[in-house]
């Protein structure tokens, strides 16, 4: 079974509007971390935001926020006030917990969502 599921291969949003990119995860660990990365057409991986499983508040970084719903195992990325430069591939990833010995630190990635922002 996939540990990270991104069900939206592509999303479109108009400039200045908000958009939500979906991510669900699967783990039996109590301690884990969730990440979102952006990959523009140039190819590099850019870290956007992190949420720890014990964090009580949703993470925010500028226009990015992570809507963390632990019981539903979802970690959706919300981009407010979209800009043309937000057009990119977005990946959700998970790091599993501290009781996993040598696998601690590796990330499991979803298949990504291609976001297109139009003027």
Partner 1 sequence: DADVTQTPRNRITKTGKRIMLECSQTKGHDRMYWYRQDPGLGLRLIYYSFDVKDINKGEISDGYSVSRQAQAKFSLSLESAIPNQTALYFCATSDRTGSYEQYFGPGTRLTVT
Contact residues toward partner 1 (CB under 8 A) are: 4, 9, 33, 35, 37, 43-45, 47, 50, 52, 91, 93, 95, 102-107, 109-112
Instruction: Closer to partner 1 by CB, 82 or 113: give it.
Output: 113
118, β-bridge pairs = 14
Contact 82, 12 (CB under 8 A): no
Minimum Å gap between C-beta 24 and partner 1 is: 14
Minimum Å gap between C-beta 1 and partner 1 is: 13
Instruction: Closer to partner 1 by CB, 78 or 89: give it.
Output: 89
Tracing tokens 């850019």 back to the chain, one arrives at 46
Strand locations in the chain (E): 4-5, 10-14, 19-21, 24-25, 33-39, 46-52, 60-61, 64-69, 74-79, 88-95, 107-109, 113-118
Instruction: Closer to partner 1 by CB, 11 or 107: give it.
Output: 107
Minimum Å gap between C-beta 83 and partner 1 is: 22
Mind giving me the DSSP string for 86-97?
Answer: G-EEEEEEEE--
Minimum Å gap between C-beta 50 and partner 1 is: 5
């Amino acid at each position: 079974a996939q540990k990270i599921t991104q069900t939206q291969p592509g999303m479109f949003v108009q400039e200045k509007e908000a958009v939500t990119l979906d991510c669900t995860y699967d783990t039996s660990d109590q301690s884990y971390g969730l990440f979102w990365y952006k990959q523009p057409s140039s190819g590099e991986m850019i870290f956007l935001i992190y949420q720890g499983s014990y964090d009580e508040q949703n993470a925010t970084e500028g226009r990015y926020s992570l809507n963390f719903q632990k019981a539903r195992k979802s970690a959706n990325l919300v981009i407010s006030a979209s800009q043309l430069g937000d057009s990119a591939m977005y990946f959700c990833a998970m790091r599993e917990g501290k009781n996993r010995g040598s696998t601690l630190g590796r990330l499991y990635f979803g298949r990504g969502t291609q976001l297109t922002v139009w003027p």
